[in-house]
């Protein structure tokens, strides 16, 4: 089968982004959401359902690109993920998801956010939203232990919630993996960001 037409294994595949609390300026966050809502509303005015779906997808990709660019600029917030022990804890929790039957074909950590591709095989007992919730909670708890009081008790480690972008086919997955694995080079990050525990890639089998 042509790579452009290749399907992913049965199930659900997403690009997940978790970011540190306070990592996007409040005004920039509001502007991004306003632009996203406007683009979604414009998509609904397309003449056919197919065109509306395509326009909505473009709007979501544009939001992700703009959202990621603001994160990469690191205008505000902590850089806790640059601490290798915290990066190792996050990577370890991602591998634990694999032990529970999910697939993590790719992830990339920078100083203030995580991108991870997650695949839930069809019929898997652990819902994807629950897996993300557990990842969020467990990594935050481990980071707090590592930081040992450097993070105020009332402060969040991660920003509440997450961003998810569905991945629909193998060609798109290939593009996403290339984007994630090139992240450290584009940002000119130190050499350690180009390898485990900051980067990981593996085939997503059937």
pLDDT, mean of residues 132-139: 96
- Domain limits for position 109: 9-23+83-206
pLDDT at 4: 45
Q: Are 55 and 114 within one domain? A: no
Domain count along the chain: 2
pLDDT value at 110 more than 90: yes
pLDDT at 55: 97
Which two tokens mark 25? 């300026």
pLDDT grade, residue 3 (50/70/90)?
Answer: very low
Q: Are 101 and 183 within one domain? A: yes
Q: Are 50 and 148 within one domain? A: no
pLDDT value at 121 more than 80: yes
pLDDT value at 2 more than 70: no
Q: Say what percent of the chain tops pLDDT 70.
A: 96
User: Residue 132 is inside which H or E element, if any?
Assistant: helix 128-147
- Bridge partners of 166? 14
């Amino acid at each position: 089968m042509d790579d452009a037409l290749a399907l992913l294994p049965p199930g659900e595949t997403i690009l997940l982004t978790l970011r540190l609390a306070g990592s996007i300026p409040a005004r920039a966050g509001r502007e991004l959401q306003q632009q996203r809502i406007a683009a979604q509303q414009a998509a609904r005015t397309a003449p056919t359902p197919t065109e509306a779906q395509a326009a909505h997808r473009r709007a979501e990709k544009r939001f992700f690109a703009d959202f990621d660019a603001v994160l990469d600029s690191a205008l505000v917030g902590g850089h806790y993920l640059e601490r290798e022990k915290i990066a190792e804890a996050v990577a370890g929790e991602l591998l634990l998801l694999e032990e529970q039957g999910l697939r993590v074909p790719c992830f990339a950590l920078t100083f203030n956010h995580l991108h991870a591709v997650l695949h839930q095989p069809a019929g898997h007992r652990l819902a994807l939203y629950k897996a993300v919730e557990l990842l969020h909670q467990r990594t935050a708890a481990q980071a707090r232990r590592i930081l040992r009081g450097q993070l105020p008790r009332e402060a969040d480690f991660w920003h509440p919630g997450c961003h998810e972008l569905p991945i629909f086919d193998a060609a798109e997955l290939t593009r996403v993996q290339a984007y994630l694995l090139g992240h450290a080079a584009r940002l000119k990050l130190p050499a350690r960001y180009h390898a485990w525990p900051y980067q990981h890639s593996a085939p997503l089998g059937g």
